[in-house]
Structure formats: structure tokens, C-alpha cells
């Protein structure tokens, strides 16, 4: 059982070792066997650069220093050949500088990206970049010494100026005035802050008003659009109704015209009949113009009037003497005068006019 566990552990260790070796081979293959192309760079000082020094672009390693050529007689430039990964493209205006890495002062070559519109450098080894040197410690020390000398000269001039009492008084007055101006400037700044605060508040109010106005305009525009849509629908409906009723109105107009024509015809005929009656033509005209028919009609009316009076008197007598229906007699009836015939009005025209 223990032997089997030992064999299992040994097998796992062997697999891990094989995987590590495969990983190392892959990395080495990428580093050693990946296709590269040469690129040259020239420097006036290549301090800290050795063969195998990494070449970075944007902090990522893209190659190494392959060869350093020392200058020959009459030359002051050091030519450094770089081995760059073929998949990396360097622009013609890219900078090549020596940069420190880490605290121990190790140096690397840093390639810039260049501008996107610049041309690409050829990958046949003919391209040459001009290196940019970082400021050296000696240059920095020399710059500091120059700055100290300028400062000392300025201090000497200030001492000479302030040694004079009149100048010192003027300087004091100037400083005092400067202090007063500073106080006034502070007050002005405070007022300016207050004004700026009020202006900001007014601006905020204006923005709020603008937002509300914009919202109101949007609402009005939406309402106008809705009203316009409704009006268009109503207009379309009205046009459709007018088109539908137009035929009916035209038929009614035709019927009305025919009715007016018939009424006009009837009125014309009625005028003709009335004129004939007035002239005594026809049966009605003869009756209206006949004196004999008029006298007979008048006598008939008088007889009917007398009969009505007799019936009235008889009714009044029976109401007063109801026993006469059974016993007869009674008071003698008072003779009632006979109604007198009214004189006949003259008949206009010839009574025999219109007889056929």
C-alpha cells in the first residue's frame, strides 16, 4: 500500500516536471526562435548598455541589444544593433532613449510609439534611429552650480539695493501699500465670491426656467399636434359626410323642383277655374249666378227657420204643461208671428250667364 502511494507521488512529480519543462521550452522558443529583424540606433553615449540589454516599447519587452559597435577614427557616434520581434512595427519618428530601471541603475532601451500618421520603418536592417540621451549626473550638477551662482548674484544686488536708507524706506512704503492692496483685494475677492454665488443662483434659476419653458413648449407642441390630428380627422369625416349627403341633396333638389312645377301647374289651373266660376261658366258658376236657385235656397232657409221656431215653442209649452200629453187642452197657444222674409239682394251679372 505504501509502495503504491510512493509510486503515485513519483508519477505526479514526474508529470509536474514534464509540464514545467514544456513551459520553459515554449518560453525559450518564443524568446529564442521567434522571428526577428535588425534595427540600428546611434548614441553619443551608450553608458550602461550591454549586449543582451532588453528593448522595451511602452514598458513591454519587444527585443534585445544584439551588437554594440565602437566608433572608428573620426566618428563620435556609437552604433547599436537591436533585435526586434518581427510582429512589432516601429514608426519613423519614434524616439529611442536610454532609461534607468530599478534602484540599482540597470539600463534599458525604450522605443516610443511615434505618431499614427508616420511611416513604418523597413524591417530589412537598413533603418537607423537617432538615440536620445537622458540628462547625466554631471549635467545636472553643472546646472545646479549655475543656478546657485545666479542666486548669489541676485542676493548681492538685493543687499546693495536695501543698504540705501531711501531705498529701504521706499521698499517699506511699497510693502505697506502692497499690504493695503492685498487687503482691498481680499475684500474685492469676497465681494466677487458673493456676486459669483448670486450669479450662479441666477444662472440656476434661469436654467430651471429654461427647463420648465422647454417642458411647456413640448406639452404645447404635443397638444397642438393632437388637436391638429383631431381636426384633420373631423375634416375628413365632414368631407365624407358631405360626399355621402350630396347625392341625397341633389335628389331632394330634383324632387323639390318637380313638386314646385306641379304646384305651379295646379295654381295655374285653379286660377283658370276661379276665373271661369266668376264668369258663370260651369255648374258651380251657374249655381252662383242663378237668381232662381238663389230664391229657392232663401225660401228653404226661411222654412227651416220657421220650423225650428215652431219646435222651440212646442218644446217650451210641453216643458210648462207636461200633462197636455195625456189630457190634451190647456192654455191656448199663443200665435207666434211668422218670420218675415228678408229682401233678396240683387244678383250680380246676368242670371242666365253661363247656362249651357
Region class of 28: left (phi > 0), else alpha (psi between -120 and 50), else beta: alpha
Q: Assess whether 23 and 47 both reside in one domain.
A: no
- Which structural domain, as residue segments, surrounds residue 19? 1-33
**Rounded to whole angstroms, how far apart are CA atoms 289 and 353?**
7
Does residue 274 belong to any structural domain of this protein?
Answer: no
Q: Is a pLDDT exceeding 70 seen at residue 268?
A: yes
Mean pLDDT, residues 60-88: 87
pLDDT band at 282 (very low <50, low <70, confident <90, very high): low
> pLDDT averaged over the chain?
77
Q: Assess whether 117 and 48 both reside in one domain.
A: yes
Mean pLDDT, residues 90-103: 85
E strand spans, 9-48: 36-43
Query: Residue 36: its pLDDT value, please?
Result: 87
Does residue 61 belong to any structural domain of this protein?
Answer: yes
Nearest CA to 273 out of 263, 262, 284 is that of 284
Q: Assess whether 49 and 106 both reside in one domain.
A: yes
Query: Residue 180: its pLDDT value, please?
Result: 84
Query: Residue 269: its pLDDT value, please?
Result: 76
Nearest CA to 78 out of 57, 110, 58, 50 is that of 50
**Rounded to whole angstroms, how far apart are CA atoms 100 and 111?**
13
**Rounded to whole angstroms, how far apart are CA atoms 232 and 280?**
69
- pLDDT tens digits for range 104-156: 668 899 999 989 899 999 988 888 888 887 666 666 677 787 887 888 777 77
- The C-alpha cell of 65 is what? 541589444
- pLDDT tens digits for range 5-41: 777 788 888 888 888 888 887 766 665 567 889 999 9
Does residue 283 belong to any structural domain of this protein?
Answer: yes
Residue that finishes a domain, picked among 66, 101, 134:
134
- Write out the DSSP string of 302-341: HHHHHHHHHHHHHHHHHHH-TTHHHH---SPPPPPPPPPP
Q: Is a pLDDT exceeding 80 seen at residue 337?
A: no
Mean pLDDT, residues 258-286: 73
Does residue 58 belong to any structural domain of this protein?
Answer: yes
* Number of folded domains that form the chain: 3
Percent of the chain with pLDDT over 70: 76
Q: Assess whether 25 and 50 both reside in one domain.
A: no
Strand-pairing partners, residue 80, are 41, 68
Does residue 83 belong to any structural domain of this protein?
Answer: yes
Mean pLDDT, residues 50-57: 91
DSSP-derived letter for residue 44 is: S
Residue that finishes a domain, picked among 84, 112, 134:
134
Does residue 208 belong to any structural domain of this protein?
Answer: no
DSSP-derived letter for residue 49 is: -
Residue that finishes a domain, picked among 134, 152, 173:
134
**Rounded to whole angstroms, how far apart are CA atoms 282 and 275?**
11
Query: Residue 330: its pLDDT value, please?
Result: 47
Is the CB of residue 93 less than 8 Å from the CB of residue 118? yes
Count of C-beta atoms within a 10 Å radius of residue 224: 10
Mean pLDDT, residues 159-186: 75
Mean pLDDT, residues 333-338: 47
**Rounded to whole angstroms, how far apart are CA atoms 215 and 123?**
63
Does residue 312 belong to any structural domain of this protein?
Answer: yes
Query: Residue 332: its pLDDT value, please?
Result: 45
Does residue 290 belong to any structural domain of this protein?
Answer: yes
pTM above 0.75, yes or no: no
Mean pLDDT, residues 295-319: 77
For 86-109, b/e burial (b = at least 16 CB within 10 A) is eebebbeebebebeeeeeeeebbb
Query: Residue 334: its pLDDT value, please?
Result: 46
Amino acid at each position: 500500500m505504501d509502495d503504491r502511494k510512493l509510486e503515485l507521488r513519483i508519477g505526479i512529480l514526474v508529470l509536474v516536471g514534464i509540464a514545467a519543462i514544456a513551459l520553459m521550452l515554449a518560453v525559450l522558443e518564443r524568446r529564442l526562435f521567434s522571428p526577428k529583424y535588425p534595427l540600428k540606433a546611434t548614441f553619443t553615449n551608450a553608458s550602461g548598455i550591454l549586449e543582451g540589454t532588453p528593448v522595451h516599447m511602452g514598458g513591454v519587452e519587444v527585443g534585445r541589444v544584439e551588437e554594440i559597435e565602437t566608433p572608428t577614427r573620426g566618428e563620435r557616434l556609437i552604433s547599436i544593433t537591436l533585435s526586434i520581434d518581427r510582429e512589432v512595427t516601429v514608426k519613423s519618428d519614434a524616439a529611442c532613449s536610454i532609461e534607468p530601471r530599478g534602484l540599482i541603475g540597470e539600463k534599458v532601451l525604450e522605443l516610443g510609439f511615434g505618431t499614427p500618421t508616420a511611416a513604418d520603418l523597413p524591417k530589412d536592417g537598413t533603418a537607423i534611429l537617432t538615440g536620445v540621451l537622458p540628462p547625466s549626473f554631471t549635467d545636472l550638477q553643472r546646472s545646479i552650480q549655475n543656478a546657485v551662482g545666479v542666486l548669489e548674484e541676485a542676493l548681492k544686488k538685493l543687499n546693495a539695493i536695501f543698504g540705501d536708507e531711501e531705498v529701504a524706506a521706499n521698499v517699506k512704503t511699497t510693502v505697506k501699500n502692497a499690504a493695503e492692496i492685498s487687503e482691498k483685494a481680499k475684500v474685492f475677492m469676497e465681494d466677487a465670491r458673493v456676486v459669483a454665488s448670486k450669479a450662479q443662483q441666477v444662472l440656476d434659476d434661469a436654467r430651471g426656467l429654461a427647463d420648465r419653458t422647454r417642458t411647456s413648449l413640448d406639452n404645447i407642441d404635443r397638444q397642438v399636434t393632437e388637436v391638429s390630428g383631431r381636426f384633420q380627422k373631423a375634416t375628413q369625416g365632414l368631407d365624407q359626410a358631405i360626399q355621402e349627403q350630396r347625392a341625397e341633396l341633389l335628389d331632394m333638389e330634383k324632387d323639390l323642383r318637380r313638386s314646385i312645377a306641379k304646384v305651379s301647374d295646379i295654381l295655374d289651373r285653379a286660377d283658370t277655374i276661379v276665373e271661369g266660376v266668376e264668369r258663370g261658366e260651369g255648374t258651380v258658376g251657374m249655381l252662383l249666378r242663378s237668381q232662381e236657385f238663389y230664391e229657392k235656397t232663401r225660401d228653404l232657409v226661411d222654412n227651416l227657420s220657421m220650423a225650428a221656431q215652431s219646435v222651440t215653442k212646442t218644446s217650451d209649452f210641453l216643458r210648462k204643461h207636461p200633462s197636455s200629453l195625456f189630457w190634451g187642452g190647456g192654455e191656448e197657444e199663443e200665435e207666434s208671428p211668422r218670420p218675415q222674409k228678408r229682401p233678396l239682394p240683387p244678383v250680380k251679372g246676368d242670371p242666365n250667364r253661363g247656362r249651357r
